[in-house]
């Protein structure tokens, strides 16, 4: 019919998920005697996580349940439209959180520390850490967790940095934690399947490396890192992806769009109704070819030819879709970018109304989770740099800055900076730190002071006698 009751099965395949599971063990120490048993028990939980991660990864790529949609009424008209809002959510989150490289800055203001941190940033640039951070955040936003591997360079490997950074696929990587207080990580696992379809597991503990093929321990050797080199970067405590909590709404939008297109096609390809008239198949073909037909009534009854149609209410469909999309933006903490209606709001009021303040709050929450894992990774990187390089830094000397929206309200920030610098009781470093203009206020302060001292030196050289004698004939001084 023109607008039949839809019996599609697109929404019935929506998969309900509640974040990834943390893999734990009651074993206190991983040894060659129990590593295989702990690994086999952990694989059961990991397989559940892997299945969900793979589903979310494919959903992000556009392989969504609507593609398996079926219809029982008029099955020949069955549109399968993917409106990939999941990709939009992830892209916004990744770009907003780490669109600019994450910078390491000093915490104590010492010149030696500033130079060492500058050298560390250069090493991270050489390792293309900005791109790898983006990969980490992308996995976080898709499936709720991500993994990074840090290893020292090989002996004969010529590289600017003495360490290597690798982003690992969370579908074949996991970390096993202790069940005791603190949930200390006991081992990190990375595995793959070789050409002979045998699973090969690389297992790292604090001091040992194990190679396991299937369920057989093939190799064991010591390493000098004193840490597990695989670090987990969870997006939140529940390890939820950014669009995972709105999967039913995303599937609803796909279903609405598919049904709207079905309604349009069914209106165009509507059935033709013949009342009290007899028509053959050849006559109907002639109707389609010529666009007109002559019919004769049966037994003197009134004859009629009409189209069976019942147009879909597009306004109601659009209202439902906009309601779903608005709920998605609110739940996921994404600004409303539809332009909104014309209002008198300006400045901070616009940021509050359109959801940018909420997006900033969500980003700061993600920052804290990222920094927690980044500090653990940095601890190993700094140890490698001390042993193999010439950088001597401690974790307590370093802070991390996310460059984001640095030029928002730049005029107000500059006015705050000028006002604070004019107050003799406020240290200039405090002015640089609290004005909000600089991602690295210590470096900005050091550069500014150096520039100020150079300018003062030039002025002194140009004017060696700053207090010239007064002219006795100058009556204005009398």
The domain spans of the chain are 410-461
Half-sphere exposure (Cβ direction) of 92: Cα atoms closer than 13 Å: 20
**Distances in Å between the alpha carbon of 303 and those of 74, 273, 288, 307, 365?**
27, 11, 19, 14, 71
Q: 211-215, 338-342, 364-368, 393-397: lowest mean pLDDT where?
A: 338-342
Report the C-alpha gap between 63 and 84 in whole angstroms: 9
Average pLDDT over residues 272-276: 66
More confidently predicted of 412 and 290:
412
How far apart are the C-alpha atoms of 278 and 340, rounded to whole Å? 56
Residue 454's closest CA among 446, 466, 465? 446
Q: How far is CA 354 from the centre of its chain?
A: 20
pLDDT one-digit tens code per residue, 65-96: 999 888 887 777 788 889 999 999 999 999 88
User: Is residue 48 within 8 Å of residue 21, measured between CB atoms?
Assistant: yes
pLDDT at residue 156 is higher than 90: no
Q: Distance (Å, rounded) from C-alpha 238 to C-alpha 133?
A: 21
Flag whether pLDDT at 7 surpasses 50. Answer: no
Q: b/e for 211-233, b at 16 or more Cβ within 10 A?
A: ebeeeebeeeeeeebebbbbbbb
pLDDT band for 166, please (50, 70, 90 cuts): very high
Burial of 376 (0-12, 13-18, 19+ CB in 10 A): middle
Task: Give the CA radius of gyration of the chain.
Answer: 33
Please give the Cα distance from 328 to 321 (Å, whole number).
Answer: 11
- DSSP annotation of 297: B
Does the pLDDT of residue 56 top 50, yes or no? yes
Does the pTM surpass 0.85? The reply is no
Q: Are 228 and 187 in contact (CB under 8 A)?
A: yes
Query: pLDDT confidence of 425, banded at 50, 70, 90?
Result: confident
User: Which stretch of 172-186, 236-250, 428-442 has the lowest confidence by average pLDDT?
Assistant: 428-442
Task: Give the three-class secondary structure for 201.
Answer: strand
Residue carrying structure tokens 């390491």: 104
**In the chain, % of residues over pLDDT 90:** 37
Looking at residues 153-171, what average pLDDT do you find? 85
Instruction: Check pLDDT > 80 for residue 471.
Output: no
DSSP 254: H
pLDDT surpassing 80 at residue 374: yes
């Amino acid at each position: 019919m023109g607008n039949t009751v839809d019996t599609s099965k697109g929404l019935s395949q929506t998969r309900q998920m509640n974040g990834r599971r943390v893999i734990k063990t009651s074993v206190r120490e991983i040894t060659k005697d129990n590593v295989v048993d702990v690994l086999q028990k952990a694989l059961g939980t990991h397989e559940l996580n892997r299945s969900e991660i793979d589903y979310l990864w494919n959903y992000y790529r556009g392989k969504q349940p609507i593609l398996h949609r079926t219809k029982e009424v008029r099955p020949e008209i069955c549109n399968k439209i993917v409106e990939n809002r999941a990709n939009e959510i992830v892209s916004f989150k990744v770009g907003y959180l780490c669109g600019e490289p994450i910078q390491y800055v000093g915490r104590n203001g010492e010149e030696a520390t500033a130079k060492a941190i500058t050298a560390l940033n250069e090493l991270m640039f050489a390792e293309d850490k900005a791109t790898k951070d983006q990969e980490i955040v992308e996995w976080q936003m898709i499936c709720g967790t991500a993994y990074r591997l840090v290893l020292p360079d090989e002996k004969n490997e010529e590289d600017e940095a003495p360490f290597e950074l690798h982003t690992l696929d969370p579908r074949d990587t996991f970390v096993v934690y202790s069940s005791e207080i603190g949930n200390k990580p006991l081992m990190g696992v990375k595995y793959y399947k070789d050409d002979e379809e045998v699973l090969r597991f690389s297992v790292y503990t604090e001091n040992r490396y194990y190679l396991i093929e299937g369920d057989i321990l093939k190799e064991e050797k010591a390493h000098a890192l004193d840490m597990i080199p695989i670090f987990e970067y969870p997006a939140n405590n529940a390890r939820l992806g950014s669009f995972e909590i709105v999967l039913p709404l995303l599937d609803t939008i796909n279903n609405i769009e598919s049904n709207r297109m079905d309604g349009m096609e069914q209106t165009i390809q509507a059935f033709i109704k013949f009342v009290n008239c007899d028509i053959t198949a050849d006559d109907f073909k002639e109707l389609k070819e010529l666009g007109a037909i002559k019919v004769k009534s049966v037994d003197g009854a009134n004859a009629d030819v009409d189209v069976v149609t019942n147009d879909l209410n597009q306004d109601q469909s659009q209202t439902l879709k906009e309601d779903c999309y608005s709920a998605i933006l609110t739940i996921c903490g994404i600004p409303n970018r539809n332009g909104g209606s014309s209002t008198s709001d300006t400045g901070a009021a616009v940021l509050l109304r359109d959801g940018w303040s909420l997006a900033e709050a969500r980003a700061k929450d993600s920052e804290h989770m990222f920094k927690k894992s980044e500090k653990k990774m940095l601890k190993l990187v700094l140890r490698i740099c001390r042993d193999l390089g010439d950088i001597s830094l401690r974790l307590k000397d370093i802070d991390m800055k996310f460059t984001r929206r640095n030029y928002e309200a730049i005029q107000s920030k500059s006015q705050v900076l000028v006002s604070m610098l004019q107050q003799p009781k406020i240290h200039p470093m405090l002015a640089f730190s609290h004005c909000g203009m600089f991602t690295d206020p210590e470096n900005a302060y050091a550069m500014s002071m150096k520039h100020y001292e150079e300018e003062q030196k030039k002025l002194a050289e140009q004017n060696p006698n700053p207090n010239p004698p007064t002219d006795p004939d100058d009556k204005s001084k009398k």
